Every structure is written in structure tokens, then in C-alpha cells.
């Protein structure tokens, strides 16, 4: 396990290094002055611009500039926004909390519903319920996220009035932003209307969470169904039946632990898809997260913000994928043996 973990961590570090090279190169590929693209300091601010030139190594070669770029990243000096002139790193922290909250709730919902439905569809193979579950999952997977989000807003917010159209919470509650996660911020706040604020936040949350969970949910249903059917055909399951074990014992003790292997392996990929869709979802629901912040910065050509948004989202996906790989290898030792054999 140690050898496998070290290989994954080294691969992660190499990928992060390549990502930092790409982000650094963007400063020179964007139109305009490369130092301004990197720091957000305009050339007409003469004193600050000269100080930034020295601090960022622009008096030396490109290697020195890259070294200073990485050093400032670790120090939390990610430059200023060209639009707001506020430190980019300070703006990221609450936005990251809002995005992670939305993504985790959607992934949790997809797993809680997707795995049992996949198992139930496999048990009812070729029956009417199996056909209904698979038909709905295939249809839902085919619907683009932006169209599904508009449809849910029209149905639940406009027609039925069950949910607000957009936003994170009613501004009248005046919840101070500390982490960016609205549920945690409400819990940390000292407002006397904490229960009402929590109810209002959940009312804002449930529609975007469902929209975001649809695609990983449909994928998990199909993966789990196929995995269960595959395990049920194995000889050790037939041997268990021959020994007279009950269906429940065979399912929970022998089938599910083995069927979850391909599901865990796919969680990293599904998280990557979810983070791609979260950008669209945040824009449509006006959710104050990294995705909407990144899209807004692209429209405004705010280059320091674009780089920071790309760096955070890509790093988050990489970390989660490596974490899933490590959990997968820890839970199923044969995975490590297969990779070592290669």
C-alpha cells in the first residue's frame, strides 16, 4: 500500500507541476502586459508596478519568473483582480466553500439513491421495475444540465412556487460569510432566527442539488446494476447458494462488497463530470461559487481571476481522483497487485 500511495502522490505532484506551468504560461499568452496579467497591477501605477517587477523576477530570466510565480502561489499572493482590485486569494475562500458544499451534497444524493436503485434494478432484472429504472436513468442522462436546470426552475420555482429561483439565502437574514458554506455559516452565526435561516437556505439548496446530482445518479445506477449482475454470475455466489445461505446473506455479505469495487473506481470520474456541470449550474442559479465567479471573470477578461479559478478547480479534481484511487486500492488489495504486475 505504501509503494502504491507513493506512486500516486508522485504522479499528483508531477501533474500539479505541469498545471502550474500551464497557468504560468497563460500570463504570456493573454493579450496585454504579462506582469499585469499575473499580478493585476496596471503599468500606470508606476511605483507598485516597479515593485512587482522586482518581486516577480521580471528583471531576470523566465526561470526566475516561474520560481517567483510558484513562491507567491504558496504565500497566498495570487495577485489582484483587474475589476475589483481586491486580492484574488481572499475572494476565493468563501467561493470555494459554496462550491464544495453544493458539489458534496449533490454527490451524496447521487450515491444514496444511485447505489440502492442499481441493486434493486439488478435483483429485478428484465422485470417491469428494472425496465422503468433503466429507462428513466437513460433518459435523464441524455438531458443537458442547462436545459434540466431551466426546466426545474420553471416547474418548481415559477409554476409551483416551492423554491426561490436563484441565490443562496434571503439577504434579510444577514448571515455573515465565514466559510462560504451557507449551512456552516448559519450554524456559526449568532442570529436569533437560526432555524428560519436554515429552512430558507435548504429551500434555496434542494433544486440546484437535484439538478447537479442527476447525471452522476444515472451513471451510478447503471454501473451498480451491471456490477451486481456480474458478481451474481461468479462461482463463489453459486457455491454460497449451494451451501444454503439466504438471499439476504449472499447479497450483503458476498455480492455488495464485490460489486462496489467498480463503483468506487468510477467515483473520481463522476466527481470530475459533476465539477464540470457545477459551473453551468452555479451560473443558472446565481450560486455564489467558483463556477459563476470563473465565468464572470472570462466575460470581464479578468486574467488573474481566470488563472486562480482554473487552478483551484483543476487541483480539486486531481486531489479527489487521487483520494478515490487510494481508497480503492486500500479497500481492494488486488488492484495494487494488478498494477504492480504491469
pLDDT digits 0-9 by tens, 131-186: 888 888 888 888 888 888 889 999 988 888 888 888 888 888 878 888 888 888 88
Average pLDDT rounded to a whole number, residues 272-297: 88
Residue pointed to by grid coordinates 487510494: 326
In a domain, 8, yes or no: no
- pLDDT greater than 70 at residue 341: no
Distance CA 189, CA 98 (A): 16
Distance CA 253, CA 11 (A): 35
In a domain, 316, yes or no: no
Within 8 A by CB and 6+ apart from 334, the residues are none
For residue 340, name the pLDDT band (cuts at 50, 70, 90): low
State the total domains in the chain: 1
HSE-up of 61 (CA within 13 Å, CB side)? 1
In a domain, 313, yes or no: no
- The CATH number for 104's domain is 1.10.3720.10
- pLDDT greater than 90 at residue 243: no
> Which pLDDT value is given to residue 83?
85
- pLDDT greater than 60 at residue 21: yes
Distance CA 73, CA 39 (A): 11
CA–CA–CA angle 57, 92, 104 (5° rounding): 135
- Supply the pTM of this predicted model: 0.85
Q: Which residue has the higher pLDDT, 208 or 177?
A: 208
For residue 55, name the pLDDT band (cuts at 50, 70, 90): confident
Residue pointed to by grid coordinates 516577480: 56
In a domain, 113, yes or no: yes
Within 8 A by CB and 6+ apart from 190, the residues are none
In a domain, 251, yes or no: yes
Residue 240's domain spans which residues? Answer: 86-300
Amino acid at each position: 500500500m505504501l509503494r502504491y500511495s507513493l506512486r500516486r502522490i508522485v504522479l499528483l505532484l508531477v501533474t500539479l507541476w505541469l498545471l502550474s506551468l500551464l497557468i504560468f504560461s497563460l500570463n504570456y499568452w493573454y493579450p496585454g502586459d504579462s506582469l499585469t496579467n499575473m499580478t493585476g497591477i496596471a503599468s500606470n501605477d508606476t511605483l507598485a508596478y516597479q515593485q512587482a517587477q522586482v518581486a516577480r523576477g521580471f528583471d531576470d530570466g523566465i526561470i526566475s519568473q516561474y520560481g517567483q510565480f510558484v513562491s507567491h502561489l504558496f504565500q497566498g499572493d495570487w495577485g489582484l483582480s483587474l475589476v475589483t482590485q481586491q486580492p484574488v486569494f481572499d475572494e476565493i475562500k468563501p467561493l470555494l466553500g459554496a462550491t464544495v458544499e453544493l458539489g458534496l451534497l449533490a454527490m451524496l444524493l447521487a450515491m444514496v439513491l444511485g447505489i440502492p436503485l442499481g441493486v434493486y434494478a439488478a435483483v429485478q432484472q428484465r422485470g417491469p421495475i428494472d425496465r422503468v429504472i433503466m429507462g428513466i436513468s437513460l433518459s435523464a442522462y441524455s438531458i443537458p444540465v442547462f436545459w434540466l436546470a431551466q426546466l426545474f426552475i420553471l416547474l418548481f420555482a415559477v409554476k409551483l412556487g416551492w423554491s426561490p429561483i436563484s441565490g443562496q439565502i434571503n439577504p434579510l437574514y444577514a448571515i455573515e460569510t465565514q466559510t462560504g458554506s451557507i449551512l456552516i455559516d448559519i450554524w456559526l452565526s449568532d442570529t436569533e432566527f437560526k432555524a428560519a435561516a436554515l429552512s430558507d437556505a435548504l429551500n434555496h439548496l434542494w433544486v440546484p442539488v437535484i439538478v447537479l446530482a442527476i447525471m452522476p445518479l444515472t451513471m451510478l445506477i447503471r454501473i451498480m446494476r451491471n456490477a451486481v449482475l456480474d458478481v451474481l454470475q461468479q462461482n463463489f455466489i453459486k457455491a454460497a447458494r449451494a451451501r444454503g445461505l439466504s438471499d439476504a446473506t449472499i447479497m450483503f455479505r458476498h455480492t455488495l462488497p464485490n460489486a462496489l469495487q467498480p463503483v468506487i473506481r468510477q467515483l473520481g470520474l463522476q466527481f470530475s463530470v459533476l465539477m464540470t456541470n457545477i459551473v453551468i449550474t452555479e451560473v443558472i442559479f446565481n450560486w455564489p461559487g467558483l463556477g459563476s465567479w470563473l465565468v464572470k471573470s472570462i466575460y470581464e477578461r479578468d486574467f488573474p481571476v481566470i488563472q486562480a479559478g482554473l487552478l483551484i478547480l483543476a487541483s480539486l479534481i486531481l486531489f479527489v481522483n487521487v483520494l478515490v484511487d487510494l481508497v480503492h486500492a486500500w479497500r481492494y488489495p488486488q488492484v495494487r497487485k494488478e498494477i504492480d504486475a504491469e
